[in-house]
Copies of this chain bind each other. A is one copy, B any other.
Amino acid sequence: MAKKITSRETDYSKWYNEIVVQADLAENSAVRGCMVIKPYGYAIWEKMQSELDKMFKATGHQNAYFPLFVPKSLFEAEEKNAEGFAKECAVVTHYRLKNDEDHPGKLKVDPNAKLEEELVVRPTSEAVIWNTYKNWIQSYRDLPILINQWANVVRWEMRTRLFLRTAEFLWQEGHTAHATRDEALVETKLMNQVYANFVENFMAIPVIQGTKTASERFAGAEETYCIEALMQDGKALQAGTSHFLGQNFAKAFDVKFASDTGSLEYVWATSWGVSTRLIGALIMTHSDDNGLVLPPNLAPDQVVIVPIYKGEEQQRQIAEVAEKIKSDLEQHNIRVKFDNRDKFKPGFKFNEYELKGVPLRIAIGPKDLEQGTVEVARRDTLTKTTLTQQEVLAYVKNELEVMQVSLFEKAKDFRTQHTTRVDDFETFKKILEEKGGFISAHWDGTEATEEAIKNETKATIRCIPLESSLEEGVCVYSGKPSSRRVLFAKAY
């Protein structure tokens, strides 16, 4: 049987890593900073992809695919974007290996196969996409372009953690082109809202929508919208971003269109993305000291049935009941696994599915056979209920819905309890240190103050919440006037 995992209180970071590895979600690979996403982790990602993809298509977007490589000259065209990513670029310089004469059986880079121009492995695709859009856009009739891409990207991070920060990760990146500033702004906000809906309704993670300060913006953006979530250790996690890029990329790549009045104008742009990082957020929002807890909407298996038997005859009889229940549930589109493996004991299986966060576990033993009952255990509350076999379908359907809502509410309560209004810097530091979470405080709007607070406390401004109302006050750090509160936190 798998060993118990480290508790959150003992070592939060270790707890996280152990869940990732022991729940079979992912593991480190032989390549520095790159992870292997294992089948169970990938199945969760597939569920996320499938739902997001539907939402993108429902809002008029189409998928396409652009090259993995960005020639250096394109990469550097939008200067701020280039500057922002230059330090984390994996660079392809050669296109061939050859036998290493000094080490038989080994290969070496062929110096004669040096590329004339180096290729950057895409850290993000604005450059290569806007260089393409240039040829697609002549007139206002060609706009808007609403495209999304599912892809891998590479950012050479020095300190990596499974899902949260990896050198290669999987994501989607939307890249849209518009005739007007207003339309691009509407798109930027719409996609941030799509992300919020997805993360809240599907992943059961409550988020705050807001905009980033200038220093936290995407490199090359004029405004970055974001959704921010709060993890159980009181640290914030940026769960998705949607950027209003203004005309920056259109200018860098000279993308103009003839408007309906005949004038030539630069095109307006947005880009937006979420990544496998969301799986990190999922783990840190819902899981407990027994392992992963999955919201039913996202669970590859929503229900697992474990038989408890002695001997083949009993196994056969229980399997008959289990298969009937499985088939009933599947007819209602519930995802069910019947684990009838003989080489593992029930206790081992119970532990495995608890660790893997399967929402509902149905156990069927000899007594249940006699009495026509089953035992259902709920993963989040760890409560058990005995039901007649006739009651199972209705109970499971209802309980999956209840659990989905309940996980969201629990996380929202946690966030409410860990969001503190603070009006002086001493309290700010104390709250941050002792309680963590979001701190809602006044800020004077200067980068200098933001920087000073960050240096002194490691807290950053997570966002300027969309829903915060104007409120006169003074900056928690400088004492200068401020017209609204912003959200500070330490962050992943």
Which residues on A are within 8 Å of B, measured CB to CB? 27, 29-31, 34-39, 42-43, 45-46, 62-72, 74-76, 79, 82, 86-99, 105-107, 109, 118-121, 128, 131-132, 135, 141, 147, 151-152, 154, 156, 168, 170, 343
Given A89-B97, A90-B95, A120-B97, check contact A69 B107 (CB 8 Å). Answer: no
CB-based contact B67/A132 at 8 Å: no
In the bound assembly, the distance between CA atoms of A131 and B42 in angstroms comes to 19
Complex interface: chain B residues within 8 A of A29 (CB): 66-67, 128, 132
A31 touches B119 (CB 8 A): yes
Q: Given that A46-B63, A132-B29 are contacting pairs, would A168 and B69 also be in contact in the complex, using a CB cutoff of 8 Å? A: yes
Which of chain B's residues has its CB closest to A85's CB? B97
A188 to chain B, nearest CB (A): 21
B68 touches A34 (CB 8 A): yes
Across the two chains, which residue of chain B brings its CB closest to A155?
A: B95
Q: Please, which residues of chain B bring their CB within 8 A of the CB of A62?
A: 39, 42-43
Q: How far is the CB of A257 from chain B (nearest CB, A)?
A: 15
- Nearest to A63 among chain B residues (CB) is B42
Among A71, A97, A98: residue with most chain B CB under 10 A:
A97
Contacts of A67 in B (CB 8 A): 29-31, 34-36, 168
| Interface contact A93-B96, CB-CB below 8 Å | no
- 17 pairs, CB–CB < 8 Å, chain A vs chain B: A27-B132, A34-B68, A36-B65, A36-B66, A37-B64, A42-B62, A42-B64, A42-B65, A68-B121, A68-B154, A69-B90, A72-B97, A75-B107, A86-B97, A90-B95, A92-B93, A93-B94
The chain B residue sitting closest to A344, CB to CB, is B141
The distance from the CB of A298 to the nearest CB of chain B, in whole angstroms, is 16
Q: State how many angstroms separate the Cβ of A124 from the closest Cβ of chain B.
A: 14
**Residue of B at shortest CB range from A300?**
B62
Instruction: Name the residue among A87, A95, A132, A343 with the largest chain B CB count within 10 angstroms.
Output: A95
Contacts of A128 in B (CB 8 A): 29-31
- A34 and B69 within 8 A (CB): yes
Query: A63 and B34 in contact (CB under 8 A), knowing A154-B68, A156-B96?
Result: no
Complex alpha-carbon distance, A170 and B128, angstroms: 17
Smallest CB–CB gap between A355 and chain B, Å?
17
Least distance between A252 CB and chain B CB atoms (Å): 11
Extra 16 A-B pairs, beta carbons < 8 Å, given A37-B65, A75-B97, A90-B119: A29-B67, A30-B128, A30-B131, A31-B69, A31-B128, A34-B67, A36-B65, A39-B147, A69-B90, A76-B106, A86-B107, A88-B96, A89-B95, A93-B93, A96-B156, A121-B121
Q: List residues of chain B with CB within 8 A of the CB of A87.
A: 96-98
For A117, give the chain B residue with the smallest CB separation.
Answer: B32
